[in-house]
Structure 1
Amino acid sequence: MCRVGVRIPYANEGRGRAVKKLLLVALAAIGGLLVYRQIQADRAEQDLWTEATDSVPAGSGV
């Protein structure tokens, strides 16, 4: 005889851990992407400032 409401302890514990790990990996990937994009934006801004404040114009041959 099988009862419908009977729970097996720890049966879904492995699935819960897997979901938590997956969420952690996804959050780490999103965080890494945001950091990467910020670094790229900072580099682009630095390049722009370097070009704008350079005493010798680009392509002058000096």
Structure 2
Amino acid sequence: MGYHRAPRSDHVEEGRGSAVKKLLLVAVAAIGGLLVYRQIQADKAEQDLWTEATDSVPAGSTGA
């Protein structure tokens, strides 16, 4: 009797590779979403700062 290798299951390896690709895609999308969110927050903070700096009525004035 000779040595016999088990049949190779390509569909299992392809499924595993597909799962890894999907996981990487989700990770990239999450990182991209986080970067966009942080940029929006930074833009809003800068706009708030400009609004405060150029406001004709100082904050905390009573107006009396």
Q: Name the TM tier (shorter chain).
A: 0.7 to 0.9
Which of the pair has more CA radius of gyration?
2
TM-score after normalising by structure 2: 0.84
Equivalent position of 1:13 in the other structure? 14
Q: How many residues align?
A: 61
Shift of 1:7: 3.1
Q: Within 2, Cα distance between the matches of 1:13 and 1:54?
A: 61
Q: Percent identity?
A: 77
Equivalent position of 1:2 in the other structure? 4
Shift of 1:22: 0.1
Q: Within 1, Cα distance between the matches of 2:10 and 2:61?
A: 76
Q: Within 2, Cα distance between the matches of 1:9 and 1:53?
A: 66
Structure 1 residues without counterparts, runs of 5 or longer: none
TM-score after normalising by structure 1: 0.87
Could you say what the CA RMSD is over the residues aligned between the two structures, in angstroms?
A: 1.6
Where 1:7 maps in the other structure, the secondary structure is coil
Structure 2 residues without counterparts, runs of 5 or longer: none
